């Protein structure tokens, strides 16, 4: 990873599987093999809703990320309610560095006023969208010396910074993440207000769900349009500029997902990856069945029950 940050990825796969994955996906950082899930268990993140014998699944973690500082102390962590939500590498890098790095690789638009520059940019990954990958829209204010913009709360009649992001159905936009404000005292009015000055980044996390980008069907469009409305009023200690509303339009390409060539994925993927994961899956399944043969039989019964219920739901929905 860039800027002197080290990256490690851990899974319960054997070394052979990791070696092929690393080579075929061109991964530069270490993939570490926790075959018996001992480290996953020691960290307390074993997925304990999966039972021994649940096919090849037992031993996986609740997926997530820890970021540690130079002293090995956790400074940030990312866990979600579903494995489908994953943080983009840029989000992890920003967390490790403690600042937002805009590298200019994503879609970007800008506007502004005297002494104020406002831009909206998608952080990283060429700004593309795919199911569940959480990216960030960064609205950056660059204010000339002496100018500030307002956080909340402000008295009636003053305009705090507001950012609203709209997208097509299936785009999930989370609440904006605002940096801390500084109290600013307006002497004449005997009033202290929360303000930002200098460079201010408002981050808005967002991701796509199945309606927009699904890994179980081919994409039906190439991109999605994001409409970003930014409202603000810039002031110095004596006067204010007029409140402004700027609307930025950003076009985000949709990403094709590579699905490893494997029978359980076939017919479901957006695109098949160029290597066969089957021999690795077979080793994994054998290893897991050996550990809990009776659990596996129980799993087969459970799976057929779940399948029947799914087909019933499909029939009800279709009727």
Minimum distance, C-beta of residue 141 to another protein, in the bound complex (Å): 28
Q: What is the DSSP string of 205-247?
A: EEEE-TTT--TTS--S-SEEEEEEEEEE-EE-SS-BPPPEEEE
What is the footprint of another protein within residues 34-63 (CB under 8 A)?
A: 34, 39-40, 42-45, 47, 49-51, 54-57, 60-63
Query: Of the candidates 103, 240, 245, 282, which one interacts with another protein according to CB under 8 A?
Result: 282
Which residue's CB is nearer to another protein, number 32 or number 240? 32
184 contacts 244 by C-beta, under 8 angstroms? no
Residue 259: CB minimum distance to another protein, A: 9
**Residue 136 in the binding site for another protein (CB under 8 A):** no
Per-residue exposure over 202-241, b if at least 16 CB sit within 10 Å of its own CB, e if not: bbbbbbbeeebbbbeeebeeebbebebebebbbbeeeeeb
Stretch that binds another protein, among 147-155, 175-183, 187-195, 278-286 (CB under 8 A): 278-286
Residue placing its CB nearer to another protein in the complex, 136 or 246: 136
Residue by residue, DSSP assigns 85-143 as -EE-HHHHHHHHHTS----S-S-EEEEEETTEEEEEEE-SGGG-B-BTEEEEEEEEEEE
Question: Residues 63 to 102: which contact another protein by CB under 8 A?
Answer: 63-70, 72-77, 79-84, 92-93, 95-97
Q: Which stretch binds another protein (CB under 8 A): 32-40, 154-162, 194-202, 223-231?
A: 32-40
Question: Is 30 a binder of another protein (CB under 8 A)?
Answer: yes
Three-state secondary-structure class, residue 63: coil
| 247 or 285: CB nearest another protein | 285
Are 149 and 232 in contact by the 8 Å Cβ rule? The answer is yes
Structure tokens belonging to residue 205: 């996390």
- For residues 163 to 202, the per-residue mask of contacts with another protein, x marking binding by CB under 8 A and - elsewhere, is -------x-x------------------------------
**Under rule CB under 8 A, which residues in 210-229 are in contact with another protein?**
210-211, 214-218
The nearest distance, CB 105 to another protein, in angstroms, is: 19
d(CA 13, CA 19): 10
Does residue 256 bind another protein (CB under 8 A)? no
Q: Taking CB under 8 A as the criterion, which residues in 283-312 touch another protein?
A: 284-286, 289, 299-300, 302-304, 306-307, 309-311
Distance (Å, whole) CA 276 – CA 258:
12
What tokens does 152 get?
A: 């909340």
């Amino acid at each position: 990873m860039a800027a002197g940050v080290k990256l490690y990825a851990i899974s319960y796969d054997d070394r052979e599987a990791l070696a092929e994955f690393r080579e075929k996906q061109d991964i530069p950082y270490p993939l570490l093999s926790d075959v018996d899930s001992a480290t996953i268990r020691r960290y307390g993140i074993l997925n304990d809703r999966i039972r021994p014998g649940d096919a090849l699944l037992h031993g996986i973690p609740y997926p997530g990320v820890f970021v540690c500082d130079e002293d090995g102390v956790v400074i940030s962590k990312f866990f979600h309610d579903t494995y489908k939500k994953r943080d983009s590498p840029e989000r992890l890098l920003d967390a490790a560095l403690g600042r937002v790095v805009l590298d200019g690789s994503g879609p970007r638009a800008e506007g502004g006023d005297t002494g104020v520059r406002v831009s909206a940019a998608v952080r990283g990954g060429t700004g593309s969208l795919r199911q569940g990958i959480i990216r960030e829209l960064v609205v950056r204010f660059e204010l000339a010396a002496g100018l500030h913009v307002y956080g909340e709360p402000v008295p009636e009649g003053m305009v705090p910074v507001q950012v609203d992001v709209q997208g097509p159905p299936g785009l999930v936009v989370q609440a904006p993440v605002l940096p801390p404000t500084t109290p600013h005292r307006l002497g004449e009015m005997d009033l202290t207000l929360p303000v930002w000055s200098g460079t201010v980044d408002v981050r808005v996390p967002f991701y796509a769900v199945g309606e927009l980008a699904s890994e179980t069907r081919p994409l039906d469009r190439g991109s999605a349009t994001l409409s970003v409305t930014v409202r603000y009023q810039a002031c110095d200690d004596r006067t204010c500029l007029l409140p402004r509303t700027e609307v930025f339009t950003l076009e985000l390409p949709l990403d094709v997902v590579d699905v490893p060539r494997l029978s359980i994925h076939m017919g479901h993927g957006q695109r098949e990856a160029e290597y066969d994961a089957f021999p690795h899956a077979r080793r994994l399944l054998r290893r897991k069945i050996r550990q809990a043969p009776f659990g596996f039989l129980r799993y087969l019964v459970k799976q057929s029950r779940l399948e029947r219920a799914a087909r019933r739901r499909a029939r009800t929905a279709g009727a």
